[in-house]
Amino acid sequence: MRREALVLFLALPACGNDSTGAGGGDAGVSLGDGGGGFVDADIPDGAKAFVDGGFAGPDGGVIRADRFVTNVVSFTPGECAGFGIPDMPNIVEGPPVGAGSSAGSLDVVSLGIGGEIVLSFEPNAIVDGPGADFIVFENAFWTGGDPSKPAADYAEVSVSEDGTTWKTYACAPPSDTTACAGWHPVYSAPGNGISPVDPATAGGEAYDLASVGLTKAKLVRIKDRATSTCDGTPPKPTNYGFDLDAISIVNAETP
């Protein structure tokens, strides 16, 4: 089965991860221009709109826009990707839009089987501080409300300060998923009073830079580690693989 690949470099062209890809049949997919202040048309009342240069916090304050993804550095969709791509890059920028433990958010982009995306927070960065330093949000939920049965799409998370040297959190499903992203529901959503930068309440998977030996990271790379295959005859599904909602910085270089 042919894997259709699309690599897009939107900024930071010196990034040292995989910089080429097979020019597949998806080359005509539009990823948008990132305009409109991160407003996502699929979210009621434009809940991800800027508020005084950032996003409304749960305490009435403002969370800086660069505490979330500000730039898609590269994106290589895997097979059966496509959901959310027309809304890129806006759909992965800004805070998460969680749907709780019983449902998955639709404010996501599906990476596809083996798909990969690299993101930055420029001009901000993640720094090592007390506890978790950043959070990755997917759209997992508990099947039938049972926490032992997550509806999960696992992904490997890597971090880098320079785009050349990467540090990776171990993720080898189905046997080892502890450090994988994609298996905890997301509870924080704009306007619901749950902070997207609080690891104790936001949901998603929280990561500590110290555990991979870094004190600072400017880039996060997410690589789908699905164990399923994209079978069937065209038209194939477009929602396979890891579904990225957002990434937030807990300990930021510029809070």
Domain ranges of the chain: 1-255
Say whether the peptide bond before residue 123 is cis (omega within 30 degrees of 0). yes
The pTM (predicted TM-score) of the whole model is: 0.83
Two structure tokens written together for 197: 């930068």
**DSSP letter string over 121-140?**
-TT--EE--SS--EEEE---
Q: For residue 46, which amino acid is it? A: G
pLDDT tens for the chain, 255 residues: list them.
223 333 333 332 222 222 222 222 232 233 444 333 333 434 444 557 677 779 988 888 899 999 999 999 999 999 999 999 999 999 999 999 999 999 999 999 999 999 999 999 999 999 999 999 999 999 999 999 999 898 999 999 999 999 999 999 999 999 999 999 999 999 999 989 999 999 999 999 999 999 999 999 999 999 999 888 888 778 889 999 999 999 999 999 999
Two structure tokens written together for 177: 């998923």
Nearest-angstrom CA–CA distance, 228 and 213: 32
Place of tokens 């992965």: 92
